[in-house]
Amino acid sequence: MKTLRLILGDQLNSKHSWYKDNPENTVYCLFEMRQETDYVTHHIQKVIGFFAAMRDFGQHLKDQGFTVQYLKLDDGKNTQSLTDNLKLLIEEHNITKFEYQLPDEYRLDEQLSTFCNSVDIDTEAFSTEHFYTKRQDLKQFFKGKKQYLMENFYRDMRKKHDILMVAGQPEGGKWNYDKSNRNKWKAEHPIPPYKYFKNDIEDIETLIEKEDIKTIGTLDTKTFSYPINRQQALEQLKYFCEVLLIHFGDYQDAMHTDQVYLFHSRLSFAMNLKLISPKNIVDTVLNYWRKHGEDINISQVEGFIRQILGWREYMRGMYWALMPEYITLNYLENNNNLPDFYWTGNTKMNCLKQSITNSLDNGYAHHIQRLMVTGNFALLAQINPDQVDAWYLGIYVDAVEWVQLPNTRGMSQFSDGGKIATKPYVSSASYIHKMGNYCDSCHYNKKEKLGDKACPFNSLYWNFLDEKRKQLGDNFRMKMMYSLLDKMETKQLSSLKERAQQIIENPDDF
Ligand SMILES: Cc1cc2nc3c(=O)[nH]c(=O)nc-3n(C[C@H](O)[C@H](O)[C@H](O)COP(=O)(O)OP(=O)(O)OC[C@H]3O[C@@H](n4cnc5c(N)ncnc54)[C@H](O)[C@@H]3O)c2cc1C
Ligand code: SF4
């Protein structure tokens, strides 16, 4: 009996029970493949980050005495296809059993189950032992319910895992401190320097160039700054607890021209590759807070835990509950093309310029930039969700479909008609101004609705409400906005719609 165990690029969990001992006759395999580099155009730092972390993990296993077959992208025998590589190794090593960890992406899950049905050796799938929940838990939780509210799921998770609970009640008396998480950052609390890792990636960069892999974004040093192994992920987490947690919640939604990361953790890349588990993160943050409770308010901690125990697990559950139909939904019938400036940052709209430039430079934007700037504009300009998805899936180092898709198509673009968000996340300039300083140095005037200098978000907003009345008019949470729209003079509305059409038809001129 000889076993082949597959490790996918986002399954780098060194604490998995597969590595508790070193079973005889077992070969572990990792592949760098065109299949994965080419299904969407990725940010250069994303491709580099995945390969660097995979190489580090493969080496870590070898150092511990495991038998590892690591196929680099330019390895002569690499077929560039997952299943062909597996067939090759099965034959080469006379494998009698194939084992894999359940992929988080539907696409890979299908590919591997079809493969297993096609081979005449034993096969077995294992859990990744990463998430708090199983794939189908959320589907069960919401069975028979009309709404899939994250808050209900989150409260259940808090109770189930006894997190921030005292005698069955939420610690501090509140489930949710969201209202204290909405401050604008005005430099009153200096942003600490960021923790960077100097992982040498020169050979991977050269490989990407040599193999002519199409990428987006930039890389301005020969190092990759995100954590690429468990040790570094733990260091990043320690830094977050000691330096950033204290104001995480306060400025969670803030945006600033001089700041890319503010008090955000930058842990999503490490977590999505499974270098570190959500439980590990939540437990560490809670322990740290228990020891430093006099300095750190519960609102910072709850705000952070809600993102991981709540939103992250919820998005994964929704993905598995709603795929494969989910990826085809377009409830608002949006069909415009994504403006070219999404790929260059070349626009006079300062909020978009800043958020897109950050994304191109760092493979990163925080939640509110993704939701209320790039996502907001795409929705108001009625861009086809397929194109919006492709952009989000490519540009962020942490973008893996199970988490990108429900966030983009659901939460941000409302393409599911309200399964994830109860109303579309759209706003005029007022919200963007409330949460940041982008408007202060913008070519456009945030207050004006009409005229050359009027902020494009303002006319787009009213035009969107008017055009989507059929789909949104009955939405209870939109009632107030529709009553304002109804009170608007016909002439004013038609002028706003005219300006919105100019923007929609030629977004790259704005
Ligand atoms: C349109 C859109 C697309 C997004 N695409 C992705 C994606 O491809 N990959 C991804 O990991 N996150 C995605 N998010 C969620 C969120 O923006 C990122 O997780 C976060 O910005 C990562 O930075 P951070 O680690 O500094 O997060 P922090 O602000 O420090 O938050 C801590 C952690 O909470 C988790 N988290 C926070 N919000 C969410 C959320 N909405 N869904 C799932 N997890 C969350 C992340 O794991 C994150 O690392 C998206 C959000 C939007 C609105
Ligand atoms: S004025 Fe409008 S376009 Fe300019 S930064 Fe503000 S919201 Fe963005």
The pLDDT-based confidence of 135 (bands split at 50, 70, 90) is very high
Q: Are 382 and 504 in contact (CB under 8 A)?
A: yes
One-letter amino acid for residue 172 of the chain: G
Pairing of strands 199-200, 223-224: antiparallel
Nearest to 269 by CA among 199, 210, 167, 338: 199
Pocket test for ligand 1, best of 268, 301, 358 (most atoms within 8 A of CB): 268
Cα end-to-end distance, the chain, whole Å: 65
pLDDT of residue 8: 98
**Position 222 pLDDT exceeds 90:** no
Whole-number pLDDT of residue 254: 95
User: CA-to-CA distance for 410 and 421, rounded, in angstroms?
Assistant: 7
Question: Measured between alpha carbons, how far is 249 from 267 in angstroms, rounded to an integer?
Answer: 15
The confidence band for 147, taking pLDDT boundaries of 50, 70 and 90, is confident
- Decide if 465 contacts 428 (C-beta within 8 A): no
Percent of the chain with pLDDT over 90: 93
The minimum-distance atom of ligand 1 relative to the CA of 411 is: 53
Q: What pLDDT sits at residue 187?
A: 85
Q: How far apart are CA 322 and CA 402, in angstroms?
A: 11
- Most informative mutation of 347, 377, 432 for ligand 2 (most atoms within 8 A of CB): 432
The whole-number pLDDT of residue 123 equals 98
Q: Where are the alpha helices (DSSP H) in 292-368?
A: 298-305, 313-322, 350-362, 367-368
HSE of 418 in the Cβ direction (CA atoms, 13 Å)? 11
Instruction: Quick: pLDDT tens for 351-400.
Output: 999 999 999 999 999 999 999 999 999 999 999 999 999 999 999 999 99
Distance 47 CA to ligand 1 centre (A): 19
**Cβ(351) to ligand 2 under 6 A?**
yes
Mean pLDDT of 499-508: 97
Between the CA of 372 and the centroid of ligand 1 the distance, in Å, is 13
pLDDT score recorded for residue 474: 95
Q: pLDDT per residue over 110-128, tens digit each?
A: 999 999 999 999 999 999 9
Q: What is the pLDDT of residues 281-321, one digit of tens each?
A: 999 999 999 999 889 999 999 999 999 999 999 999 999 99
Predicted confidence at residue 139, as pLDDT, reads: 87
Mean pLDDT of 206-216: 97
- Tell me the per-residue pLDDT of 258-276, one tens digit each, with 9 for 90 and over: 899 999 999 999 999 999 9
Mean pLDDT of 80-93: 98
Ligand 2 atom at minimum distance from 446 CA: 1
**How many angstroms does the Cα of residue 466 sit away from the middle of ligand 2?**
21
79 burial (CB, 10 Å; 0-12 / 13-18 / 19+) is middle
Binding site membership of 444 for ligand 2 (Cβ less than 6 Å): yes
In whole angstroms, what is the distance from residue 433 CA to residue 38 CA?
A: 38
3-state class (DSSP) for residue 370: helix
pLDDT at 127: 97
Smallest-distance ligand from the CA of 241:
1
Question: How confident is the model over 137-165, as a mean pLDDT?
Answer: 92
Q: Which mutation among 43, 367, 368 tests ligand 1's pocket best, with the greatest number of atoms within 8 A of CB? A: 367
**Which whole number is the average pLDDT over 446-464?**
97
- 66: CA distance to ligand 1 center in Å? 34
Over residues 334-349, the mean pLDDT reads 98
How many whole angstroms separate alpha carbon 3 and alpha carbon 287?
A: 40
- Residue 222: phi and psi, rounded to 5, are -90, 20
Mean pLDDT, residues 457-468 taken together? 98
- Separation between Cα atoms, residue 501 and residue 510, nearest integer Å: 12
How many whole angstroms from 115 Cα to the centroid of ligand 1?
32
DSSP 132-163: SS-TTHHHHHTTT-S---HHHHHHHHHHHTT-
- CA 424–ligand 2 middle distance (angstroms): 19
